Every structure is written in C-alpha cells, then in structure tokens.
C-alpha cells in the first residue's frame, strides 16, 4: 500500500522532471530561432539575442504558468470540489451546523461511553489465560432475602470441592480482613486497611509472580508460623520509597510484627472489584486455627478462586461442582439448602454497576442510531431539494462522475468536521466521566479514548453519510435532466419512495428518543425517591468512623468493652459533641445477619430458622442516632455486664416474628438452634438469651433501595462472645460534624497511639456515596435523553421545512383557490404529528420490550410506570408539534401570486 503510493509519487516527480527539461528545450529552440531571424533582418549577433529575449518575454514566468497547468489534474479537480463543497456548505450554515453537531454527538458520546465500558468490563483481565479464572460462591436458598445473594463458601466446602472435582487446575480459599497496619516510625501514620489472608496458591492461580522475594510456603499457613507478609508495589513505593532492601523489614499488623518476604504487583481481582482505596495492599498467609475443622463448615463468607483446566467450559465446571454440593448437603446439616455457583472472574468486574453500564451502553447505541438516522434524513432532504440544481448542471454538460465527486467532497467535509467535533466531545466526556465516576472503579484510573471505538463510530457515520449523501446523487444523475427539470418545476413533490423513507426515518428517531426519555425519567424518579428515603434516623449532624481493637493488646472481651467505653466517654466530653455511641451498625447498612431462636417459631430445617439483622452497641445507640422509641424502654446505664441481657427490636421485627403478640418481655435465643450441632464459639453465635425491652422505629439496614429488614440490637457489655474488636463510633454534633474528626482522632490516639481511625465520614456523605452509581446513571441518561430529543426535533424540523419548501406551489394553489391558512397550516403540522405519533407508539412498545434492562436500576417505580410513559409520549408529541409549527408558520406567509409566478 505504502510502497505503491511511494512509487506513484516518485514517478510523478520524475515525469515532472522530464516535462521540465522538455519545456526548457522547447523554449531554448524558440529563442535560438528568434535570434537567428533577428540576425538575418540585419541586427548584429549580440543585439539580435537581446531583441529575441525581449520578444520572448520572461521565460521563467512562462515556465511558472505552465507548471501550474501540469499539477495533477484530479488533485486540482478534487481540491476545487472541496472548495466548492465548503462554499456550498457554508451557504447553508443551518444544515451544516446541524449535520456536524449530529455527527459529533453520535461519535463523541459513543466513543466516550464505549471506552468507559471497555475499560470496566470488556477488556480481557490482565492475568494469563483469564478465561480460565473463576470465582466460586455458595448460594443459600429460601431463608431471608439477603441470603439469596451469592455468598462466599466455607473453607471445608472449598477443600471438598477441590478434592472431589475434576474441572480445575487449582482452587483456593482465602479472605480479606480489615486490620491495623503500622509500618514503623519512618513510614508514617498507622493505617487501617484490608489485609489479604492468602496461601501461595492465590498468586499461583492468578499467575502473578513476586517482583522481589518469594511466595508464602505451605508451612507458613499455620498459626504461629504466619508472621510473614507480602506488600504491593504501590505500598512499597508510597510507604517505603521503593527501598531496595525492603525484604526482611518488619511491619506490625494488629500489633504483631510481620517480616516482609515479597513485593507483589499491584494487580489483583480485589483491586478491580473494590477499587484502589479498599483493595488489599498487604497479604499474610491464610492461617486460622480452626478454619479447616468440621464445625467451621457452616462458617461461610470466604472468597474462593479457581483456575479451570484448559478446555473445560464453565458449564461443565458448574455441573461438576453442583453434584459435589448436593452430596455435601446430604451429608452435613449445615449444608442443607446450600448450592454452589461459579462465575467467570471477568464477569465479576464492575460489580453492582454492571446493569447500569449495560443500560448506558444501550442508550448510547440508540444515540448513534438516532444520529445516523438524522444524518441520513438531512442529506436526503438536502440532496433531493438540490435535484434540480443537479439536473441543471447535468444538462449543461457536467459529467455524472463530476457531480458524484462533488457530492462526495461535500459529504467528506461534513464527516470530517463531525469527526473532529466528536473527538473533542469524546475527550470532554471522558474527562467528566473520570471526574464523577463512582469511586470504587479503579479501572477508570487509566481511562482514555479507545481508538477502535472511535474508528467504529466514525465508520458507521461515514458509511451513513456516503450512503445517503450519494444515493440521491447517483439516482439523481441517472435521471433524464429534462424530466427532473420538468418535475421539480411544477409538480413540486419528491418521489413517493423518498418521502416514505424520510417519514420512516423520522418515526424511528422519535421512537428511539422516546425510549431514552422514558428510561432517563424512570431513573431520575428513582433517584429522587432514593433521596427522599428516610433512613429512619435523624441523619443530619452525624459523623461516623471505624476502629479495630486488636486482640494482642486487648486479649478479652472485657478489655475491648473497657476501651470502647473509655473512648465513647472521652468523645462525649468533647465540646460540640451532643452524644456518641460505639456500635457495630449504623444506617443504611448492616451486613451482619444472625440466626435466632424465637418463641413460637420452631425450626427443624435451616430454611425455617428465624434470622434478623444483628447489631451490638452501647446504651447510647438509640439516643445518638435519633431513632424513635415506639414502645417499651431504651437501653439504660443500669444495663451492665452483670444485669440480665436486654435487646431492642424494630417494628419490622415485631411484624415478622410477633405479628399478634406483645414482644416486650419475651426471651430470644441468640444463635442457631441446637439441631445444627454447632459448638459454642464456632461462628457468630452466642448461646445466651436476651429479653426484649423496647421497640424502635424501623431504620434502613439493607441499603437505601431495599426496605428495612427485621433488626435486633443488643449491648456488647452483656454479650462477650460477640464483642469483637471491629467497632464503629457514631457522633452527634452541634455544628459541622466533619470539623470534629481531628479531635476524635486525637482522643483515640491518646488511648492507643497505634490504632488508626478509619472511614471517617458524615452519614449524609455516606448516603451520597451509596447512591453514587444511580446518580452517575441518572446524569448520563438524562444527557442522552436530551441529546436524543434534540436530534429528533432537528429531524422532524428538517423534514417538515423540507416538505413546506417542496409543496410551496401546491400550498399556494390551495390558498389561491380559497383554502384557509389554518387548514393549510394543519396540512403541514399533520405530517410532523403523524410521524411523531407513529414514533411514540413504537417507542412505548420499545420501552416495554427493554424493561428488563432498566428494572434493576429502578427504585420504588415500575419500569412500566404509566404516568412516565404518558408524560414522555406527550412531551415528545408537544415537541414534535412545535418543531413542525416553526417551519409550518412559513405557510402563513406564502404569497400565492408571487409563488405561482415563479418558474
């Protein structure tokens, strides 16, 4: 290709060179002859030469004139066509601007969104043979809602899966825990971070090799031998300035020293799922004393990763594991009703945002379609209006090739301008995506324009432009010029086929933009509802933060309780603090579901065991959060470690488990029933009984979007078995809550200088963050809907004004013959409205058909919400009416006598 081009370029240079010599020779011979003649007529030789030169004129100038005429003919023609095209585009700036804008929107929006989606979900994972990597989940069926979601398996289950299955090269169970990590005096503040608890197999499955050092040994997975750590490259750089002698240095995790044995690459599946901030940057061996023992089989929630054998499909692997899971369920009571599910690692990326991204992908594809349709329409209208011009030019002897070349140049100019504008738009779009992207998508860190996408969108619009830009030219130039001239002169209507085509295109546009409109409006309404959601607490002026009380320095629950009480007491004494509570829960999330024994709810199967969201707090819980007390009493200072354990429940708890009786005074057993044969201490269990003393108003404990689940709150001082080191503190303040964060951190450090204060945030900011994904979708979808609507309006405007121009004479005749202007206006309006009505009908059907795509993003509104549908359709019709009325008004100004005298 390039060689060929080079060759033709070289020959053209040589040819030119030859022609140049030729010319010199020709001029020289002319000059000589002239000199001779002058000499013969009697002038002396030297004078004759000058006379000849004078007669000849300036030979250089002659050469220059000539050279101009040599420049490659096609290039000259084409550049003339380009110039002419540019002029004729500039002569109709409205058309050109709209066409370029249309292209820019289609190309820009699609390039931006598809580049984003590619970065998030489509790009192959950066591991070797990524298609072989799978995650393994346990699914418990038939208990509470939250149990229906995929959950992590237990270690013994994974061990059995690995031993009995035939589909995997390797399988690993691991976990990530939040721990306090200090890096030594030189490396800055202690930090609470997720630490990966992983055997070497984790890295082996991913095929991730240490940058320095070694993987953990099998031996190091035993408690007591596990004091070795691997750190990520980014941590190595941030905390240790990429110190080359890092291996062997000690860091402290939860107060215990660990020797660094490896520096690992940054990239792990966790980093792709939970983002930069919260992904493990430190790993230690998978060492638990009792995790492999049979009683731990019911202890689920671990992470599992596996690599399929080459050639084994995910379905085969799933079938393989399902058989094993059935056998386990039959053999172990705690595995009853537990099934297994595997997913490609690539499909777990972007987690909960996947449906939203699919929706956006659909939406932006619609924009591209609308843009193409619009472009087609514009070109059709413009070129059929020029049918006459083309015919005149053909009649005057312009070659058909020349006409096509001219239209080609015009179309090319338009497309290039559109592409340039689209590229700018895509850049701006990506910049804004980066700015507002939900913070948990680390893969957006390296977001840039995907040139494949740009090429694709560009080609789609270019093909559209060429197809519709040239089609009328080709058919048009094939017309007998005489016919075309006659036709467009008097009868003044486009061919029936062209008209139907245009109407169809506009109706399609309308349909697609209505679909966008409906989707955007549904998502925005959902978001509004989400914001209006009451958390069930007084959510203003609340600050929350997390800390971990490590077992090394606080060996028993009593010590933990003491530390928590001390901290809360100091914080409550701070100026500007109204109240504070140390708790494991705060709305809108909870995440700790507890099996219970409740009077009147005997359970013999695992599916029937009552369960509720479980929280452990101090006595200031209700007062600090501002939860209304419906009945009974709140916790009191008199509820101490040695007094009878008490509990608060929510209204939903009462509705679910005490629908007709009074719960106050009832005793509840915390923990699974005896038949599950769990020894005390295994899992999150507490065999003690509590007495319900009060009923609280419901508060959000299952995210913003889902209704509150039954909730029970107990005191950590009374339940040492569930008094773990993980605690949050929630503070109610007088003024701006975030301003108190440093003071609270100081109190924490006064008590224990090695304890990080993490996840400090106001509750209001937390709510904002929770709805970040929805807001992202809502903003983008609304933009798309507006863009789609604008494009559709332009489309309808274009067609109607075209029709008005074409039917000018017919309308003038009607007016001349006595039709009222209103009637004539209606004739024009009707056309726009018909297209809009057909489009709206198709669009509503389309919105029904695609409801699956939207429904998962909606909250409190049906994907078929009739009001939204009606308003959307009405808006579309209204806009269409206005868009057709503007050119329609021209009808009112028609002067029949003037129009009819034309031509």
Partner 1 sequence: MTPKASPNRAELLQGTLDMLILRTLLFGPAHGHQIAKHIQRTTDDVLQVEHGSLYPALHRMEQKGWIISKWESINEGKREFKFYRLTKTGRKQLASEQSKWKQLAKAIALVMSPASNEE
Considering only residues 73 to 92 of the shown chain, the ones binding partner 1 according to CB under 8 A are 73
Rounded to 10 deg, the angle between the 73-91 and 400-436 helix axes is 60
Nearer to partner 1, 19 or 848 (CB): 19
Here's the x/- map for partner 1, 471-490, by CB under 8 A: it reads as: --------------------
Nearer to partner 1, 29 or 820 (CB): 29
Least distance from C-beta 395 to partner 1, angstroms? 18
With CB under 8 A as the contact rule, which of the stretches 56-64, 712-720, 815-823, 879-887 interacts with partner 1? 56-64
Nearer to partner 1, 38 or 801 (CB): 38
Here's the x/- map for partner 1, 9-28, by CB under 8 A: it reads as: -------------xx-xxx-
With CB under 8 A as the contact rule, which of the stretches 50-58, 322-330, 434-442, 525-533 interacts with partner 1? 50-58
Nearer to partner 1, 54 or 83 (CB): 54
- The shares of helix, strand and coil residues in the chain, as percent rounded to the nearest 5, are 60, 15, 25
DSSP calls for 118-173: IIIIISPPSSSSGGGEEEEEEEE-SS-HHHHS-B---HHHHHHHHHH-SSEEEEEE
Here's the x/- map for partner 1, 712-731, by CB under 8 A: it reads as: --------------------
Token pair belonging to 605? 């199967």
Nearer to partner 1, 11 or 643 (CB): 11
With CB under 8 A as the contact rule, which of the stretches 47-55, 135-143, 641-649, 704-712 interacts with partner 1? 47-55
Q: Which of 33, 97, 552, 849 binds partner 1 (CB under 8 A)?
A: 33
Least distance from C-beta 41 to partner 1, angstroms? 6
- Max CA-CA distance within the chain? 143
Q: How far apart are CA 903 and CA 889, in angstroms?
A: 23
Nearer to partner 1, 26 or 145 (CB): 26
Nearer to partner 1, 27 or 629 (CB): 27
| Nearby residues of 154 by Cβ (< 8 Å), 6 or more positions away | 138, 296, 297, 298, 299, 300, 301, 302
Least distance from C-beta 32 to partner 1, angstroms? 7
> How far, in whole angstroms, is CA 693 from its chain's centroid?
46
Token pair belonging to 485? 């001239």
Cis omega (within 30 of 0) on the bond before 588?
yes
In the DSSP assignment, the letter for residue 193 is E
Nearer to partner 1, 41 or 638 (CB): 41
Does 41 interact with partner 1 (rule: CB under 8 A)? yes
With CB under 8 A as the contact rule, which of the stretches 35-43, 147-155, 364-372, 389-397 interacts with partner 1? 35-43
Least distance from C-beta 417 to partner 1, angstroms? 33
Least distance from C-beta 65 to partner 1, angstroms? 4
With 0-12 CB in 10 A as exposed, 13-18 as middle and 19+ as buried, what is 680? Answer: exposed
Bridge partners (DSSP) of residue 713 are: 615, 648
**Taking a C-beta distance cutoff of 8 angstroms, is the pair 211, 265 a contact?**
yes
Nearer to partner 1, 402 or 628 (CB): 402
Number of residues that bind partner 1 (CB under 8 A): 26
Is residue 581 classed as helix, strand or coil in its secondary structure? strand
Q: Work out whether strand 191-197 and strand 282-284 pair parallel, antiparallel, or are unpaired.
A: parallel
Beta strands in 482-569 (DSSP E): 542-548
Here's the x/- map for partner 1, 606-645, by CB under 8 A: it reads as: ----------------------------------------
Nearer to partner 1, 23 or 467 (CB): 23
Nearer to partner 1, 78 or 456 (CB): 78
Least distance from C-beta 391 to partner 1, angstroms? 23
Least distance from C-beta 13 to partner 1, angstroms? 18
Least distance from C-beta 420 to partner 1, angstroms? 36
**Structural element, H or E, at residue 423:** helix 400-436
Q: How far apart are CA 768 and CA 748, in angstroms?
A: 27
Among 270, 254, 250, 260, smallest CA distance to 175 is for 270
SS3 letters across 88-115 = HHHHCHHHHHHHHHHHHHHHHHHHHHHH
Q: Which of 55, 259, 636, 886 binds partner 1 (CB under 8 A)?
A: 55
Here's the x/- map for partner 1, 523-552, by CB under 8 A: it reads as: ------------------------------
Cα→Cα distances 826→740, 841, 874, Å: 67, 21, 19
Q: How far apart are CA 617 and CA 564, in angstroms?
A: 10
Considering only residues 57 to 76 of the shown chain, the ones binding partner 1 according to CB under 8 A are 57-58, 61-62, 65-66, 69-70, 73
Least distance from C-beta 61 to partner 1, angstroms? 6
Token pair belonging to 456? 């694709």
Least distance from C-beta 26 to partner 1, angstroms? 5
Token pair belonging to 837? 């009505």
Nearer to partner 1, 54 or 237 (CB): 54
Least distance from C-beta 805 to partner 1, angstroms? 37
Is residue 649 classed as helix, strand or coil in its secondary structure? strand
Q: How far apart are CA 365 and CA 492, in angstroms?
A: 37
**Taking a C-beta distance cutoff of 8 angstroms, is the pair 398, 82 a contact?**
no
Q: Which of 16, 20, 30, 339 binds partner 1 (CB under 8 A)?
A: 30
Q: Work out whether strand 646-650 and strand 726-733 pair parallel, antiparallel, or are unpaired.
A: unpaired
Is residue 903 classed as helix, strand or coil in its secondary structure? coil
Ranges of H-type helices in 533-580: 557-572
With CB under 8 A as the contact rule, which of the stretches 31-39, 126-134, 811-819, 891-899 interacts with partner 1? 31-39
Token pair belonging to 287? 């060492």
Least distance from C-beta 66 to partner 1, angstroms? 5
**CA-angle at 292, arms to 289 and 294, nearest 5°:** 115
Nearer to partner 1, 56 or 227 (CB): 56
By the criterion CB under 8 A, which residues form the site for partner 1? Answer: 22-23, 25-27, 29-30, 32-34, 37-38, 41, 51, 54-58, 61-62, 65-66, 69-70, 73
């Amino acid at each position: 290709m390039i060689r060929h081009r080079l060759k033709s370029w070289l020959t053209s240079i040589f040819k030119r060179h030859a022609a140049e010599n030729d010319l010199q020779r020709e001029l020289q011979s002319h000059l000589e002859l002239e000199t001779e003649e002058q000499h013969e007529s009697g002038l002396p030789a030297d004078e004759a030469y000058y006379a000849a030169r004078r007669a000849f004129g300036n030979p250089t100038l002659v050469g220059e004139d000539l050279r101009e005429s040599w420049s490659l003919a096609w290039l000259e023609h084409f550049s003339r066509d380009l110039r002419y095209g540019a002029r004729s585009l500039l002569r109709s700036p409205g058309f050109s601007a709209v066409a370029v804008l249309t292209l820019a929107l289609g190309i820009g929006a699609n390039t931006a969104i598809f580049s984003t989606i590619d970065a998030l979900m489509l790009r192959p994972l950066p591991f070797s043979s990524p298609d072989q990597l799978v995650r393994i989940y346990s699914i418990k069926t038939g208990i509470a809602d939250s149990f229906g979601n995929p959950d992590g398996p237990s270690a013994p289950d994974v061990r059995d899966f690995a031993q009995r299955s035939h589909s995997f090269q390797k399988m690993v169970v691991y976990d990530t825990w939040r721990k306090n990590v200090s890096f030594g005096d030189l490396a800055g503040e202690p930090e609470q971070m997720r630490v990966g608890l992983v055997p070497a197999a984790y890295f082996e499955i991913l095929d991730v090799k240490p940058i320095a050092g070694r993987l953990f040994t099998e031996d190091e997975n035993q408690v007591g031998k596990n004091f070795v750590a691997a750190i990520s490259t980014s941590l190595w750089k941030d905390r240790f300035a990429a110190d080359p002698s890092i291996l062997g240095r000690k860091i402290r995790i939860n107060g215990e020293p660990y020797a660094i044995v490896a520096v690992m690459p940054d990239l792990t599946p966790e980093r792709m799922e939970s983002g930069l901030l919260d992904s493990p940057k430190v790993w230690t061996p998978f060492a638990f004393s009792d995790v492999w023992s049979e009683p731990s089989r019911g202890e689920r929630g671990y992470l599992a990763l596996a690599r399929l054998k080459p050639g084994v499909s995910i379905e085969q692997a799933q079938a393989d594991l399902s058989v094993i899971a059935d056998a386990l369920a039959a053999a172990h009571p705690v595995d009853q009703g537990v099934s297994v599910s595997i997913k490609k690692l690539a499909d777990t990326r972007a987690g909960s945002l996947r449906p939203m991204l699919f929706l956006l992908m659909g939406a932006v594809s619609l924009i591209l379609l609308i843009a193409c349709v619009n472009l087609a329409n514009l070109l059709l209208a413009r070129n059929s209006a020029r049918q006459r011009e083309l015919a005149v030019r053909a009649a005057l002897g312009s070659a058909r090739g020349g006409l096509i070349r001219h239209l080609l140049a015009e179309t090319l100019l338009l497309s290039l301008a559109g592409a340039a504008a689209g590229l700018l738009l895509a850049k701006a779009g990506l910049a804004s995506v980066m700015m507002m992207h939900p913070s948990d998508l680390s893969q957006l860190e390296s977001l840039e324009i995907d040139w494949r996408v740009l090429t694709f969108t560009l080609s789609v619009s270019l093909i559209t432009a060429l197809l519709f830009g040239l089609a009328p030219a080709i058919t048009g130039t094939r017309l007998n010029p005489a016919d075309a001239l006659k036709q467009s002169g008097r009868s003044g209507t486009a061919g029936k086929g062209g008209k139907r085509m245009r109407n169809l295109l506009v109706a399609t546009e309308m349909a697609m933009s209505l679909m966008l409109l409906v989707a955007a409006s549904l998502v925005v309404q959902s978001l509004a509802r989400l914001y209006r959601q009451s958390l069930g607490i007084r959510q203003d002026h609340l600050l929350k933060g997390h800390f971990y009380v490590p077992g090394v320095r606080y060996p028993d629950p009593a010590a933990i309780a003491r530390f928590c009480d001390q901290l809360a007491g100091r914080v409550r004494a701070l100026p500007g603090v109204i109240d504070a509570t140390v708790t494991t829960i705060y709305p809108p999330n909870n995440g700790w579901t507890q099996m219970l024994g409740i009077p009147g709810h005997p359970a013999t199967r695992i599916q029937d065991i009552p369960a509720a969201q479980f929280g452990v707090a101090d006595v200031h819980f209700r007062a600090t959060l501002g939860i209304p007390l419906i009945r009974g009493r709140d916790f009191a200072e008199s509820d101490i470690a040695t007094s009878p354990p008490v509990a608060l429940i929510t209204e939903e708890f009462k509705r679910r488990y005490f629908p007709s009786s009074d719960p106050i005074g009832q005793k509840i057993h915390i923990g699974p029933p005896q038949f599950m044969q769990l020894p005390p201490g295994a899992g999150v269990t507490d065999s003690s009984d509590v007495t319900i003393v009060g009923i609280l108003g419901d508060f959000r404990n299952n995210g913003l979007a889902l209704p509150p689940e039954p909730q029970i709150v107990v005191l950590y001082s009374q339940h040492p078995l569930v008094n773990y080191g993980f605690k949050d503190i929630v503070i109610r303040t007088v003024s701006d809550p975030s301003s108190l964060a440093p003071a609270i951190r100081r109190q924490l450090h006064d008590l224990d200088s090695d304890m990080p204060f993490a996840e400090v945030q106001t509750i209001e900011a937390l709510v904002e963050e929770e709805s970040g994904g929805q807001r992202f979708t809502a903003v983008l979808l609304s933009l798309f809907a507006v863009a789609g609507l604008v494009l559709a309006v332009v489309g309808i405007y274009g067609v109607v004004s075209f029709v008005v121009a074409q039917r000018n004479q017919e309308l003038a005749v009607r007016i001349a013959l006595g039709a009222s202007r209103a009637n004539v206006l209606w004739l024009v309006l009707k056309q726009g409205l018909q297209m809009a009505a057909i489009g709206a009908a198709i669009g509503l059907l389309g919105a029904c058909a695609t409801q699956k795509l939207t429904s998962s993003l909606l909250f409190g509104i049906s994907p078929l919400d009739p009001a939204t549908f009606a308003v959307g359709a009405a808006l579309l019709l209204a806009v269409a009416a206005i868009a057709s009325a503007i050119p329609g008004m021209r009808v009112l100004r028609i002067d029949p006598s003037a129009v009819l005298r034309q031509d």
